[in-house]
Amino acid sequence: MSKASFSILGLLLCTFSISAQQISGFKKPQNQISLEKNFDSYLNAKRVGENIKLLSSVPHHVGSNGATKIVTEVERIFKENGWDTKIETYQVLFPTPVVRQLEMSGATNYKALLKEPALKEDATSNQADQLPTYNCWSADGDVTAELVFVNYGLPEDYEVLAKHGIDVKGKIVIAKYGRSWRGIKPKVAQEHGAVGCLIYSDPADDGYAAGDLYPLGAFKNEFGVQRGSIMDMVVYPGDPTTPFKGSKGNVDRIGHEVAENLLKIPVLPISYKDASPLLKDLSGPVAPRNWYGALPFTYHIGPSKSKVHLKLSFDWKLKPAQNVIATIRGSDFPDQWVIRGNHHDAWVNGANDPISGLAAELEEAIAIGQLVKNGWKPKRTLVYCAWDAEEPGLIGSTEWVEDHEAELRQKAVAYINSDGNGRGFLGAQGSHAFGPFMTEISKVVIDPQTNVSVFERAKASNAINASSVKAKQEALKQADFRLDAMGSGSDYSSFIQHIGIPSLNIGYGGEDDGGEYHSIYDSFDHYARFKDPGFAYGVSLAQTTGRAALRLAEADVLPFDFKALHQTVKGYTQELMDLIEQQREKVKVENDLIQTNAWALAADPSEKLQAPKTKKLVPYIDFSPMLNALSSLEIAAQFAANKSSTLSGTALTQWNQKLYQAEQQLLSIQGLPRRPWYKHTLYAPGFYTGYGVKTIPGVREAIEQQNYQEANEQIQIVAESIKRLSNYLNND
Ligand SMILES: [Zn+2]
């Protein structure tokens, strides 16, 4: 082969590789590829860092002076970059502490500090206006009682307590942070009759056993406290006094005392400095080995020798939640909205949570502003939002969605969310019709540390961290990016789970460990040293979420792939069928162990443990309605894919609207049992996991709670929703 022909071949290969980048939904992807290249060229890591510093410069919780300052800065940045910007304000309940008091007296006398000290290495840690350490939505209360240690405070921990014959009725419980969303711990404690709940960060999970302490390292020092909401968001999020309605004007409100998502007992988070003397005072049985943390004494279950006094009261006032809404009107389809959002409120300064994500969103807005300045216009309308009042319970976004529900159901193409962001691997959750869409994006964004695609890095990490050899082999073979299902814990909840807007939640992390979460040490100084030094992952996030927004704004055919959705739901259905089989085996074996006396013989007689009760046998359940519905969906998804590739003109415009409204078919009118606000039949936060997702929640949770009649009813409801989607896609 001559040199000349070799270089022609090289040229051909090169051209081939450029045009080979397929972008689903684009008839001619070249324009989009060059648009994204221009977009990337305007992104600037240094400016991401400057905006993180600016927007975390003061404490800015809901209703504070700092919040108004941050809102003004965010509004200015959007406006300076050509966005049509307004502030939509809701009046929302946001209780802050008036009295916080915790003492132990008796054999041990201790008054809790309840205070994180300022550090000279952390420039904003000494500021006035910091919210004190507390759990928002704790009830007012003044209780004195013995203390009981409940491990992580999950339902299974109470089964262990029952075996030891320990009851928490009338007691105050102390639970470790971790293994579940924090609000589950006081909820389960209240269900068991406890009169108060303390939650502390054990150094085993969040402190010296994890790494060097702040300010030397990133991890929680002995004074650090995780603030946070304990609203029972799995019932409904948003302002607890206005479920289903926007908190605007003279909206009817229910009293917070009767709100179904608020607890009735006082709850307080504390540091391990404050928890130590309390735990040390516990008597009673030695805690099971796997309940131990890393404090230097033997952990006992309790009750305590001394009494704990917990007194809390709150102001229960309405505060303004100020959402910043910035728009660039679409040139071709102004009534089709691509919505992007991240919250701006923080517990204190919030450099990581939420400002790192917000700075990336603003970086996208700045780059898009440049594109517009150079004559480009999005085909669909871009709506960029900065939400307030996320921290106390996704309030700003939920009130906005409830307020604009009818319009959003007509116009919202998708919602793209981010929140805290840091160094590491791409992670995403979302509607599974977006699976292939996310794969394509993840294969063109380049990881700033290794120069491979963020897809390759995420895949490698999944394979290394997979729990079994088989799972590792499967992860290595993965050709698609792993899009996880959505639980809760950030502002996408009302979009996807309440009104069925296709959604994505995107962020980087995994190499950004630390103990700063929801403390005064979530500061710019901490972030710049430990979370994303150089702010390169701020740019990676902007490239990823920005591409998602730009592709959805520009696509000829919107990139929804219902074949991918079908595959995923089929997988979930198989999981449910396996789950009930495992449960049947487990109940049978456990009952055998009790009835054959094996349980009693294996127990240490000196511990006087109480035998567990036998359980009801698990019946056989008929999944055929779901399986049949899935067969129709498979055919309908193929039909839709064929149709997407053939239409043009007005017919295509109408088809696009049909595609983005398809997810709404998966809502059920009645919602989930005991929580009708949650209407999506495929995704919801778990009733006992909080942030953690339960897929096909109606059926899965009924099985987990051994309510088999409800499981049968829910199978019908899910089957109907899948069937509804199939018919919808099949019909013209
Ligand atoms: Zn956040």
Q: Cα of 614 to ligand 1 centre, how many Å?
A: 43
pLDDT in tens, 629-668: 999 999 999 999 999 999 999 999 999 999 999 999 999 9
According to the model, what pLDDT value does residue 449 have?
Answer: 97
**Distance from Cα 399 to the centre of ligand 1, integer Å:** 17
**For residue 15, what are the contacts with CB-CB under 8 A and spacing of at least 6?**
none
Q: Report d(CA 93, CA 87) in Å as an integer.
A: 19
H or E segment to which residue 428 belongs: strand 424-430
408 forms beta bridges with: none
Query: Is the peptide bond preceding residue 354 cis, with omega within 30 degrees of 0?
Result: yes
Which pLDDT belongs to residue 3?
39
Question: What rounded mean pLDDT belongs to the chain?
Answer: 95
Measuring CA to CA, which residue among 76, 671, 19 is closest to residue 326?
A: 76
Q: What is the pLDDT of residues 223-255, one digit of tens each?
A: 999 999 999 999 999 999 999 999 998 999 999
**175 CA distance to ligand 1 middle (Å):** 23
CA of 152 relative to ligand 1 center, distance in Å? 22
Average pLDDT rounded to a whole number, residues 600-617: 85
Give 406-441 pLDDT, tens digit per residue. Answer: 999 999 999 999 999 999 999 999 999 999 999 999
* Count of all residues that appear for the chain in the document: 732
What does the pLDDT average to over 112-117? 98
Give 392 Cα–ligand 1 centroid separation in angstroms: 10
313-340: b or e for each residue (b if 16 or more CB lie within 10 Å)? bbeeeebbbbbbbbbbebeebeebbbbb
Average pLDDT (22-28) is 92
**Structure token pair of residue 518:** 């929801």
Ligand 1 mean position to 520 CA, how many Å?
A: 14
Can you give the pLDDT at residue 17? 44
* pLDDT above 60 (res 5): no
Residue with more model confidence, 610 or 438 = 438
Q: Residue 13: which pLDDT band, with cuts at 50, 70 and 90?
A: very low
Question: What percentage of the chain reaches a pLDDT higher than 90?
Answer: 92
Q: Checking phi first, is residue 140 left (phi over 0); if not, alpha (psi -120 to 50) or beta? A: beta
Residues 290-310, mean pLDDT to the nearest whole number: 97
In which order are the strands placed within the sheet that holds 412-417?
84-93, 318-328, 380-387, 333-343, 412-417, 503-510, 424-430
Instruction: Fill in the DSSP letter of residue 22.
Output: -
How far does the centroid of ligand 1 lie from the alpha carbon of residue 466, in Å?
A: 27
Distance from the alpha carbon of residue 448 to the mean position of ligand 1, in angstroms: 24
Measured in Å, residue 682 CA sits from the centre of ligand 1 at 24
Residues with CB under 5 A from ligand 1 (ion): 353-354, 419
Average pLDDT over residues 496-500: 98
What is the CA(395)–ligand 1 centre distance, in A? Answer: 12
CA–CA distance, 248 with 242 (Å, rounded to integer): 9
Give the chain's radius of gyration (CA, Å).
27
pLDDT > 70: percent of the chain: 97
80 to each of 212, 367, 617, how far by Cα in Å?
Answer: 42, 12, 66
Average of per-residue pLDDT across 3-7: 39
* Helical residues (DSSP H) of 223-382, grouped into ranges: 272-280, 357-373
- What angle, 0 to 180 degrees and rounded to 10, lies between the N-to-C axes of helices 29-42 and 357-373? 120
Number of Cβ atoms within 10 Å of the Cβ of 21: 15
With a cut of 60, say whether residue 124 has pLDDT above it: yes
Distance 66 CA to ligand 1 centre (A): 17
Please report the pLDDT score of residue 732 as a whole number.
64
Q: What are the strands, taking DSSP E only, across 94-222?
A: 97-105, 110-111, 135-136, 141-145, 147-149, 172-176, 196-200
Task: Please give the pLDDT value at position 501.
Answer: 98
Distance 724 CA to ligand 1 centre (A): 35
pLDDT at 689: 78
Res. 6: pLDDT tops 50:
no
683 and 592 Cβ atoms separated by less than 8 Å? no
Structure tokens at 359: 């700075």
Nearest-angstrom CA–CA distance, 562 and 641: 8
Question: In whole angstroms, what is the distance from residue 72 CA to residue 534 CA?
Answer: 26
Distance CA 458, CA 454 (A): 6
At residue 586, the 3 state secondary structure works out as helix
Tell me: pLDDT of 256 over 90: yes
CA of 133 to the centre of ligand 1 (A): 17
Bridge partners, residue 505, by sequence: 417, 429
pLDDT, tens digit, 9 for 90 and up, residues 149-206: 999 999 999 999 999 999 999 999 999 999 999 999 999 999 999 999 999 999 999 9
- Mean pLDDT, range 480-509, rounded to an integer: 97
Residue 551 pLDDT > 80, yes or no? yes
Write the pLDDT tens digit of every residue in 687-731: 887 778 999 999 999 999 999 999 999 999 999 999 999 999 998
Spatial distance between the Cα atoms of 96 and 632, rounded to a whole number of angstroms: 52
User: Rounded to an integer, what distance in angstroms lies between the CA atom of residue 527 and that of residue 423?
Assistant: 10
C-alpha of residue 649 to centroid of ligand 1, in Å? 41
**Cα of 288 to ligand 1 centre, how many Å?**
34
Residues 6+ apart with CB under 8 A from 385: 323, 324, 325, 326, 339, 340, 341, 342, 397, 400
The per-residue pLDDT for 21 is 77
Residues 207, 219: Cα–Cα separation, whole Å? 5
- pLDDT at residue 20, as a whole number: 60
Distance 607 CA to ligand 1 centre (A): 45
Q: Span 379-403, mean pLDDT?
A: 98
Residue 457 has pLDDT above 50, yes or no: yes
